[in-house]
Amino acid sequence: MTVRVRIAPSPTGNLHIGTARTAVFNWLFAHHHGGKFILRIEDTDLERSRPEYTDNILAGLRWLGLNWDEGPFFQSQRLDLYKTAVQKLLDQGLAYRCYTTSEELEALREAQKARGEAPRYDNRHRNLTPEQEATLQAEGRNFVIRFRIDDDREIVWNDLVRDKMVWRGSDLGGDMVIARASEEGIGQPLYNFVVVVDDIDMQITHVIRGEDHIANTAKQILLYQALGAESPEFAHSPLILNMDGRKLSKRDGVTSISEFQKMGFTAEALVNYMTLLGWSPPDSTQEIFTLEDAAKVFSFERVNKAGAKFDWAKLDWLNSQYIHNMPVDQLTDLLIPYWQEAGYQLEGGRERPWLEQLVTLIGPSMTRLVDAVEMSQIFFRETVEFSDEGSKQLQQEGSSAVLSGVISALESQPQLTDTAAQEIIKQVVKQQNVKKGLVMRSLRVALTGDVHGPDLIQSWLLLNHIGLDKQRLHQAIAAS
Ligand code: GLU
């Protein structure tokens, strides 16, 4: 048997972290078994589905490296298949037309509520005679197609994460709607039904999805049986929770993959982190791995039943590890869009070799890619702003003279090198008979505006290359 799994996002929003994590588990399982990972876009909700969300979902999956082997298939293009299947169930008497109006359903729900019962459809139109049906039609009522769910049916499956699951037909809210009506007869089919028709048609062997779908699984198993197909295996992964233990929601801030991307997480770190959301590798001390590495050892035995807490600190840590270990040219490629977005001009000496030098300087202190904007602003702005501590430093006795000394020494250095910069500092210390610390601190404030910051000599070389060091030294003298 070839393993065939699928991810079936609905394009009613951007690619959500929960869907992406489900995609990760599907991808890992497929790759572990040399199987196929299929992408199906569930766009049957015509009102809420948008093409831009589909684009966002596809782009997000690609960005994360969750490449698919077949698809994307669009449910909106497969309506005939679903209608044929609905007709089959109608012909077999396993589904029927229900003419109950929404007012009648509302009244039913109210009555159930008043009796303290859970809301459920009472199957009132299950056995209509042709005459009764004709009367209801004559009243001008619309219908939906309902699938019969007998209360005493027992539904059992062996979940790959949650072990034995037992449901009863009576838990499922009565006969379920599988399609609406249209002018021509059978209209828009609904989620639980199309999923089953598609999963049968696409020969899906394992359905891997979030545990919020467990009740759907119970219903869907009945549909497999009705359609004469064998059920696939099911694996329900734990939900992603916030740090308070509640389901991660929009209120927790970012939830879509494109937002994580904008915030400066690398695809590799994010996908690595999602792998750990509910799964742990056999060597549980191992935290950094690629999707391919994880796929080699992935199994549902190591997927937790309990919800997985989303831990920003851990994600940040993983991200910093990826950034720190990334080759400079690759990191530079990733940072350029952030600088452009910030409006920094990448010209006038700030070309590729210079940018790579800048990346070498700031990379090791970065956690998120976006940090590069703040950390490198002193190299893109014309002038610096002095912090309070910086201004105080410039008021120190000897500071101004030290800076003038540096300016004159620079005259004889057409092109500053690392050694030349060290030499200038030594020279000023000697000539003015001051402590080296004074020179270093004054120089740092003059060049960067602050007493703390990245390596001084490297910063100076970068500024010298774009001709900003002398003017900053003059600016600092004027401020001292
Ligand atoms: N469209 C459903 C969702 O986005 C898919 C559920 C499933 O995998 O069957 O949650």
The predicted-structure confidence for 186-203, as pLDDT tens digits, reads as follows: 888 999 999 999 999 999
Instruction: Indicate if ligand 1 lies below 6 Å from the C-beta of 8.
Output: yes
The ranges assigned to domains in the chain are 4-71+192-238, 81-191, 250-323, 326-379, 388-479
Q: What is the pLDDT of residue 152?
A: 96
- 361, 455 in Cβ contact below 8 A? yes
- 56, 22 in Cβ contact below 8 A? no
State the pTM of this model: 0.93
Burial of 285 (0-12, 13-18, 19+ CB in 10 A): exposed
Which helix (H) or strand (E) element contains residue 412? Answer: none
Is residue 10 classed as helix, strand or coil in its secondary structure? coil
CATH for 4-71+192-238 is 3.40.50.620
Judge: domain 81-191, CATH 3.90.800.10.
yes
Which residue has a Cα nearest atom 4 of ligand 1?
9
CATH of the structural domain 326-379, one choice from 3.60.20.10, 1.10.8.70, 2.60.40.10, 1.10.10.10: 1.10.8.70
The fourth-level CATH superfamily of domain 250-323 is Glutamyl-trna Synthetase; Domain 2 (1.10.1160.10)
From the CA of 6, give the closest atom in ligand 1. Answer: 8
Residues, the chain, total?
A: 480
**How does residue 151 score in pLDDT terms, banded at 50, 70 and 90?**
very high
Q: How far is CA 237 from the centre of its chain?
A: 16
Q: How confident is the model over 287-297, as pLDDT tens digits?
A: 999 999 999 99
Amino acid identity of residue 81, one-letter, is L
From the CA of 212, give the closest atom in ligand 1. Answer: 10
Amino acid identity of residue 1, one-letter, is M
From the CA of 208, give the closest atom in ligand 1. Answer: 8
Beta-carbon contacts of residue 453 (< 8 Å; ≥ 6 apart): 378, 444, 459
Instruction: Indicate if ligand 1 lies below 6 Å from the C-beta of 10.
Output: yes
- 73, 195 in Cβ contact below 8 A? no
Cis peptide upstream of residue 232 (ω within 30 degrees of 0): no
Centre of ligand 1 from the C-alpha of residue 154, in Å = 24
Which of 209, 211, 230 has the alpha carbon at shortest distance from 221? 230
Instruction: Indicate if ligand 1 lies below 6 Å from the C-beta of 213.
Output: yes
Q: Domain 388-479 belongs to what topology? A: Arc Repressor Mutant, subunit A (1.10.10)
- Tell me the backbone φ, ψ of residue 211, rounded to 5 degrees: -70, -10
Q: What is the pLDDT of residue 186?
A: 82
* pLDDT of 353 higher than 80: yes
- Tell me the backbone φ, ψ of residue 213, rounded to 5 degrees: -100, 5
- On the CB side of 7, how many CA atoms lie within 13 Å of its CA? 27
Q: How confident is the model over 171-181, as pLDDT tens digits?
A: 999 999 999 98
Tokens standing for residue 346: 């990448």
Instruction: Indicate if ligand 1 lies below 6 Å from the C-beta of 219.
Output: no
